[in-house]
Amino acid sequence: MGGIGMVSYLYFDLHSIAIKQYTVTINNLPKDFEGFTILHLTDLHAKEYGYDQNRLLGLINSQKFDMVALTGDFIDKNNINGEPLLSLVRGLISKPIFFVPGNHEWSTEFGIRASLDNYGVRVLENKKYKYSKGNSHIWITGVDDPYLRRDKLDEALYGISDSQPKVLLAHAPNIFPSAAKQDVGLVLVGHTHGGQVRLPIVGAIVAPGQGLFPKYDYGLFTSGSTKMIINGGLGESVLPIRFYNRPEIVLVKLVSSG
């Protein structure tokens, strides 16, 4: 009975999608962006949730959000099929979609980029986008994969001369110290999968690029006025297993510090 229970729990952790919600205070947030909500998805690794991602999209489209942030590893070096990602994009194109690549995209020289461009996805490889709403704006910025040291944060932020909030999309969390120095308000990343296997209290056992008991594994981190959210992701790599760590979609609501 114990063995059956464990198998059932592992199956649940692998296939049952959680909804994680954060409310993040942002300095100088314009009134037009009060309550602005970002859907953050990451690390799909070509995983499929039903035909044309219908199970995943059904859950997503029952939520309220204003834009979509996709932070890399939507394909897998061992499964380069881009259709799981494109099915997801087709179901989300009623909202603005922003994408930054991860290390697995570069295992195929980011061959999926042309298809993303065709669907109107804004790919931010060390670039910025002025996101306007009403008479106000914020900056959506993105860097190429920090894990592969392709990130150029100075280039992404170049030309921003105002004090409007900056949201940074990146694949891996090692961008965080640099983002904090540049006064970025919010950083959204993935890459770690939350460790895939987590232990109560202890957290992740291992994460790529950080080794055992990583500092930046999962959840919300703060440095000065900069906040970083590490999304546990939707897929798996190396081994198809999760423990104490379900796949997730993340909703981030922006609110003013006042």
Read off the pLDDT of each residue in 26-49 and give the average, rounded to a whole number.
97
How far apart (Å, rounded) are the C-alpha atoms in residues 120 and 233? Answer: 23
CATH number of the domain bearing residue 101: 3.60.21.10
Tell me if 252 sits within 8 A of 36, measured CB to CB. no
- pLDDT tier for residue 1 given thresholds of 50, 70 and 90: very low
Give pLDDT, residue 12.
Answer: 56
Give pLDDT, residue 202.
Answer: 86
Q: Is the pLDDT of residue 101 over 90?
A: yes
What pTM, to 2 d.p., does this model score? 0.94
What is the total count of domains within the chain? 1
Read off the pLDDT of each residue in 50-79 and give the average, rounded to a whole number.
96
Tell me which residue range forms the domain holding 226: 2-256
Give pLDDT, residue 96.
Answer: 98
Helices (H), the chain: 2-15, 54-60, 83-90, 103-106, 113-118, 153-157, 176-181
Tell me if 127 sits within 8 A of 166, measured CB to CB. no
What would the pLDDT profile of 134-159 be if each residue is shown by its tens digit?
999 999 999 999 999 999 999 999 99
Q: Is 2 exposed, middle or buried (0-12, 13-18, 19+ CB in 10 A)?
A: exposed
- pLDDT tier for residue 120 given thresholds of 50, 70 and 90: very high
Read off the pLDDT of each residue in 204-213 and give the average, rounded to a whole number.
88
Mean pLDDT of the chain: 93
Nearest by Cα to 194 from 58, 54, 3, 20: 20
How far apart (Å, rounded) are the C-alpha atoms in residues 14 and 12? Answer: 5
